[in-house]
Structure 1
Amino acid sequence: MSSPSSKGVALITGGARGLGREVALRLAEDGFDIAINDLPGTKELDDVAKEVESRGRRSHICAGDVSVEQDVIDMIKSTVDALGSLDVMVANAAVLLLEQLLETSVEAFDRTFAVNVRGVMLCYKHAGKQMVTQGRGGRIIGASSLAGKQGFGILFSYGMSKFAVRGMTQSAASELGKYGITVNAYAPGLADTRMLTMLDEFYNDIGGQGVFHDQFVATTPLGRNAAPKDVSSLVSFLASKDSAFITGETINVNGGGHFD
């Protein structure tokens, strides 16, 4: 079991940087012991683990590739062995390969789906199995995107993969609800991370005029990009007992840039 003062154990994939790091630290502040996943050799993993511990929580590093089923099985097993349980799975890991349809290679398409779709599916599947075995419910949370609710010409494969996460989340919620497991996803708009810089650079490379995110913000009612803390606040709620009657949802965090 998790430590007596803990709210439980949360595992965050892609937790070394960006939104994943912010989510890991927020859930640590909320009282969860934290398992952090990223690719083997990711140097920031140790730094995030230390930051978790500085907040008075236990940490565990479980490096692995979410697109490889055995890696996902191993990371969940090592989390349970080290921290005692798995109560919250945040399937955050993703890749952003920028391309348009007419220039998309099969290799880029397959790599995007391997991480963003198969990786999320494997996390949902094996976290779900562990939570069913534990017999006390749980929270599974996936990473979709504004690009999973509205198509963008410069995000062909990425957008398709994030649409898939929405369908997967609904199907998993339907299946796992009888075990007390909720399954939801978050859909950020443009967020102030390394991916935003990549997007702006690509937009200019293909002949776009100006800064892509500035143009998006100009049409957003709240007038700014998402900050990582905006996303981690939503994940904090979805991981909490207060969200117990919400499942199958993919919730926008975009300042009004897109309405369902």
Structure 2
Amino acid sequence: MTRTAFALRGVGYRIGDAVILEDVTLEIGYGRLLALVGPNGAGKSSLLGVLTGDLRPTAGRVSLDDRALAEWNPRRLSRSRAVLTQSNHVAFAFTALQVVEMGRAPWSGTERQGDDAAIIARSLAQADVAHLAPRSYPSLSGGEKARVSLARVLAQDTGIVLLDEPTAALDLRHQEDVLRIARALARAGRAVVVVLHDLSLAGAYADDVAVIDRGRIVAHGSPDAVLTEARITDVYDTPVRVLRDPDTGRPIVLPRR
């Protein structure tokens, strides 16, 4: 049986009179890759913010490992979950290596500090940024910054990994690489949540897909069950065709043009 990482019960989030999330009930398990998909403004990043603890729900309850998320102190939380946000800004002229090294900060002064060098080297290689290590981070392209930031998340070496649109600035090869890494993390027993706009990527790599529309989860299940022509056409208000990958049988979503 899959062990639960996050459990959300009736979660809501409002800003003034604006309803951002409403009545979200969801379980996220270790050893699973969950893709959060939905139109712009649907609430995907806000839901991820609730999971990270950066946003406090205005209704409902969020628990992590059977303990209320609000009860976790920041240091312990940083040893349990790593977060890649959409913004990859760094205020100072750190090198790419120094940015990745920041991922090890939660383990400073612990017995795991001795693993820093090996984990950093592995993370640089996984994200294909070892050759960028001496470069000034601000001098990197958007895609290079995104991959260095992913390496920082990998270096944090946590049981939960939360990624907000990690493929947005990447070329085709590196989009696939990121999702392969995410799937490998899940296969190694970690809970992985990825916010995606590319429905075909979600269909190809996710174990579970949750569709968010106007702050509510309107579908949650396997890619085959969730990514149907009727549902996607309704949620995105645009006609699509869902095909099957001839090699994997996984769903491929194409707009009808």
Normalising by structure 1, we get a TM-score of 0.31
The answer to which structure, 1 or 2, has the higher relative contact order (CA under 8 A, 6+ apart) is 2
Greater fraction helix: 1
Structure with greater strand percent: 2
